[in-house]
Amino acid sequence: MGVVTAPATQPLPLVAPDILLPRGEPEWGCFTGIPAVIDYTKLSGPHHRGRLQRFLRHKRWMYMFAATRDVVVIAAIVDAGPSGTGFVMITDRHGGGTLADASRPGGLGPLTSVNSHPAVGHRSHYLLPGTRMSIRGDDQELRLRATLHRLPYVPLVSSPWVELDLRLDTAAHPGVTAVSEIVQDSPMATATAKNAALPTSGSVVVRSGDGEKRVDLSGGLGGFDYTSGFLPRHTSWRWAFLCGTLPDGRSIGLNLVHDFTGIADRAVENTCWVAGTAEALDPRARITMSGDDPMAPWHVTTVDRAVDLVFTPLALHRENVNLGAIRSHFLQPTGHFSGTLRVAGKKVTVTDLPGVVEDQDVTW
């Protein structure tokens, strides 16, 4: 490991209980901690939205990630106002195959719900025939429970059947909250609360024609992404996220976003957690695919080169939805990161850290 000259890292300010200032203006920036609530009902000025625009443009989701020695688990519940979706995918880290991949677009109204509490008091659910997903948060953990099978209306013979119980120890160390202004046709406000490298527990069971496979999720590392805000009708971004262990035994988590519509190189959410301490990263991330093949290596960097990683996919979760006014192109490979990271002014080399990359382009 060699020392790399870098400016002194300034600690992130503590998050307030509310992301809005007393007069209703958003408090822009990145903060240590997760607020009790992300509530836009008192939003004022040019960022205020009426009831119809709140229904059409306000989007919320809770995404969870976990990786053990054996598997990578990804899951999400998305409440996008007029539409919703939920998915679960389990990847075999050894063989690179997909043990299960269940995607459920199309949930509406009371079938899909994500509330305004990012952690403590979080409640979300997604219900469709053959699909039951729920996430609950308290002051100690975030817990996802899901039962899914591949084909609606065929509960016992569909294959595979997935039962997931995933717990993240959210008391292990603080997350971060980023509040950003989207500068598009009209200014909008969005906030995201995230944490990484949290201890995991629970289990996943996959039943198929080949029998039953049960995996213990204890001893792994995971994280979450809660996002709530107003997004342009056409929104796109790329994202990278990892949780792992450095050669010296310290835990590490990484969150990077590239070219989010209306934010671009102002991505204050770019963060690295080392042994539970969050460090702000260059807001100018670059996440690129090799050609048009999402299963080819991806390159994940920052302009200041504090992050210089190659991501090698193991499996691919893909969703392509075209419902006329609502369209989505979504790629999220799971796999491994290798390369270098600059941590607290020192460059470290990492190999096969588990994580995901994402390419999202959605009209909603």
Q: Mean pLDDT over residues 232-253, rounded?
A: 95
| 312-340 pLDDT tens trace | 999 999 987 666 556 778 899 999 999 99
CB atoms within 10 A of CB 236: 14
Choose from 153-162, 286-295, 331-340 the range with maximum mean pLDDT.
331-340
HSE-CB for 35 with a 13 A CA cutoff: 23
Tokens for 32, please give them.
């240590």
Three-state SS at 52: helix
Residue 160: cis peptide before it, omega within 30 degrees of 0? yes
State the Cα–Cα distance between residues 174 and 15, nearest whole angstrom: 10
CA–CA separation, 77 and 226 (whole Å) = 10
- Tell me the residue ranges of DSSP E strands in 121-187: 123-128, 131-137, 141-149, 161-169, 176-182
- Share the mean pLDDT of the chain: 90
Greatest CA separation found in the chain?
A: 60
Residue with token string 């590490």 = 252
User: What confidence tier does 195 reach under pLDDT thresholds 50, 70, 90?
Assistant: very high
CB 204 within 8 Å of CB 212:
no
Per-residue confidence at 83, pLDDT binned at 50, 70, 90?
A: confident
The encoded tokens of residue 73 equal 């688990």
Cα-based angle 303, 309, 310 (whole degrees, multiple of 5): 125
Which residues is 85 bridged to in the sheet? 78
Q: Is 31 left (phi over 0), alpha (psi -120 to 50) or beta?
A: beta
What would the pLDDT profile of 106-133 be if each residue is shown by its tens digit? Answer: 667 778 999 999 999 999 999 887 889 9
What is the spatial distance between Cα 156 and Cα 207, in angstroms, rounded to a whole number?
A: 10
Distance CA 117, CA 13 (A): 20
**Token pair 């990145």: residue:** 30
* Separation CA 358–CA 255 (nearest Å): 12
Which phi and psi (to 5°) does residue 143 adopt? -125, 125
